[in-house]
Structure formats: structure tokens, C-alpha cells
């Protein structure tokens, strides 16, 4: 039998290795040392994992924003379903990063940004139209609220 | 060298501008009641559909909250309290210009999607 530690061939009846002196049948060799974690300077917030899907791996320092906070703000303040779309794509960014699918995460991040910008744009246009349509009402309300407070 | 050392740090600028915005916003919200003041932006979704959006009532709730009427604020928009707690948790990271760690977790994205959508549908079913 071969020594699990140094590989030297020994007699089957031997209990310790003739070469290195380790016990032959008892405990298996100590597990190989765990490689140290990747250096601390390489810190995208979710721990980087080997990419399973295609696409270039994350470059050091690269951040793939998930726009979730912005999505929640757009959902609450612009009150448009586009904020929900932003939430869906933002959640996909997180899930895909957790799975190591960096390319998919980048794509979802881009989509989230696009839909949020569209949402904010539509809201701004509607808001300005509303202001123009009742500009006089708006000024009057402003004056009233200043006088009545 | 001297000039750059006099320049305030990015973190200080962020905290400063956030504080100024919060103080101005709080003053406007405290002074002008949203119900009788016409200048607050109206909800696009409510104007178009007549239904409540997940954010409807936030302005009134903030006004009530600033006047110490916590219960009234809660009845106007309970979801605001979840948002405030969330922002309180996120504030330390946001001040440093980082995304809070919990925001990067898959459960946070899908969880907020479910909660926001559920609240949106639920509040319209309740009334």
C-alpha cells in the first residue's frame, strides 16, 4: 500500500510509513490547506464567484448598480408602474450576481436604468403639462396657502 | 496641495447637502398643509385612474408626522414607516456613498417587489 502522506510504497502489514513515519491505515491525511480568500482589496459588494454563464468576469472595482433604491423612490413618488419594472430588473441584478452571471446582471442593470429614466421623464412631462394647464390655479393656490397658513 | 486640503471631502458634501434638503423639505411640509396647499405635485396615477398608488398619502403623512400625529400618519400611509425604517438602516452606507449591503441581497429586491405590489393592490381593495 502507498503512504497517503508521501506516496512511498509500503508493505500491506506495515502500520507506519517506512519513509516518513506517518500512520498508514488510521486517519486520512490532513486536508490540503484551504486557499486563502481573495485579497481584501478586491471588493465588489457581493462576494465574487466564478462566473457560470458567459460574459466577461467582473473587473476589480466594477460596480453593477441594481437601482433598487431609485426604483422604490420612482414607484412611490412618480406613482408609475415603471417603478415596478425597475424593481423587477433590479432584483434580477442581485439574483444574477448571486449566481455569478455577471453579463446577465449588467444587462438587467442597464434595463432597470432605462425604465427608471423613462418613468422619471414621463412623470416630469405630465407634471409640467399639469402646471401649464392650471398655471393660474397653481399660483392662486400658492398665494392662498401663503396667506392662510 | 493647500487648496485640495481645504476642499471639503465628498462625504462631508453629501451629508451637508442631504441635511440642507431635509431641513428645507421638513420646513415646507411642516408649514404648508398638503390638503389645502396647491403646489405639491399631484399623483399622476391617482389623477389618471382615481386609484391610490403605493405612495399616495405620503405627503400628508409626513405633514402629520412632523406635527407629532403619529397615528394619523400611520392611517394615511403605513408604508411610509417601512420606508423610513429602511432609510434609517441604509443611511450610514449612503452617507459614505456606498450601496448598503442588504440592498444587494436577492431577498431585498424580490421582497420589496412583493411588498410594494401587494400594498398597491391591497390598499385599493381595502377602500
Q: What is the ipTM of this complex?
A: 0.79
In a domain? residue B2 = no
Range of the domain at B50: 12-126
Residue A1 contacts B, CB cutoff 8 Å: no
CA geometry: angle A17, A22, A23, nearest 5 deg: 85
What are the 10-residue block averages of pLDDT along chain B, 127 residues in total? 65 88 92 81 82 89 93 92 91 84 87 91 87
Domain total of chain B: 1
Residue B35 lies in a domain: yes
- What are the tens digits of pLDDT across the range A25-63? 654 444 555 655 555 454 455 555 544 545 567 776 778
Q: How far apart are CA A25 and CA A22, in angstroms?
A: 9
Domain-embedded: residue B32: yes
With beta carbons under 8 A apart, name residues in chain A contacting B110: 91, 95
Which grid coordinates are listed for B22?
431635509
Chain B residues with beta carbon closer than 8 angstroms to that of A125: none
Q: Which of A119, A123, A135 is nearest to B39 (CA)?
A: A135
According to DSSP, the residues that pair with A23 across neighbouring strands are A16
In a domain, B71, yes or no: yes
Q: Give domain status of residue B6, yes or no.
A: no
pTM: 0.65
3-state SS of chain B: helix, strand, coil percent to 5?
A: 70, 0, 30
Closest CA–CA distance from residue A36 to any residue of chain B (Å) = 23
| B7 assigned to some structural domain | no
* Residue B33, domain member (yes or no): yes
Q: Helix (H, G, I), strand (E, B), or coil: what is residue A33? A: coil
* B57 falls within a domain: yes
Task: Answer yes or no: do A46 and B104 touch at CB < 8 A.
Answer: yes
How many Å is the Cα radius of gyration of chain A?
Answer: 31
Q: Which residue has the cell 416630469?
A: A124
Amino acid at each position: 500500500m502507498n503512504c497517503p502522506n508521501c506516496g512511498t510504497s509500503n508493505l500491506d502489514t506495515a502500520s507506519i510509513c517506512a519513509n516518513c513515519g506517518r500512520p498508514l491505515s488510521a486517519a486520512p491525511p490532513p486536508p490540503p490547506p484551504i486557499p486563502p480568500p481573495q485579497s481584501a482589496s478586491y471588493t465588489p459588494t457581493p462576494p465574487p464567484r466564478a462566473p457560470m454563464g458567459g460574459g466577461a468576469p467582473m473587473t476589480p472595482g466594477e460596480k453593477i448598480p441594481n437601482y433598487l433604491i431609485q426604483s422604490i423612490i420612482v414607484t412611490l413618488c412618480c406613482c408609475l408602474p415603471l417603478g415596478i419594472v425597475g424593481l423587477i430588473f433590479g432584483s434580477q441584478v442581485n439574483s444574477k450576481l448571486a449566481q455569478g452571471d455577471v453579463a446577465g446582471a449588467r444587462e438587467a442593470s442597464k434595463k432597470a436604468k432605462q425604465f427608471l429614466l423613462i418613468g422619471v421623464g414621463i412623470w416630469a412631462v405630465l407634471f409640467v403639462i399639469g402646471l401649464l394647464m392650471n398655471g393660474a390655479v397653481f399660483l392662486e393656490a400658492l398665494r392662498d396657502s401663503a396667506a392662510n397658513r | 496641495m493647500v487648496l485640495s486640503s481645504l476642499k471639503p471631502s465628498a462625504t462631508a458634501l453629501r451629508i451637508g447637502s442631504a441635511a440642507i434638503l431635509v431641513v428645507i423639505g421638513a420646513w415646507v411640509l411642516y408649514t404648508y398643509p398638503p390638503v389645502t396647499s396647491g403646489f405639491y405635485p399631484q399623483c399622476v396615477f391617482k389623477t389618471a385612474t382615481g386609484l391610490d398608488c403605493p405612495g399616495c398619502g405620503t405627503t400628508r403623512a409626513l405633514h402629520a408626522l412632523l406635527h407629532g400625529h403619529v397615528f394619523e400618519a400611520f392611517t394615511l400611509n403605513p408604508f411610509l414607516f417601512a420606508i423610513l425604517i429602511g432609510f434609517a438602516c441604509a443611511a450610514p452606507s449612503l452617507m459614505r456613498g456606498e450601496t448598503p449591503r442588504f440592498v444587494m441581497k436577492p431577498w431585498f429586491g424580490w421582497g420589496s417587489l412583493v411588498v410594494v405590489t401587494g400594498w398597491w393592490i391591497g390598499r385599493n381593495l381595502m377602500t
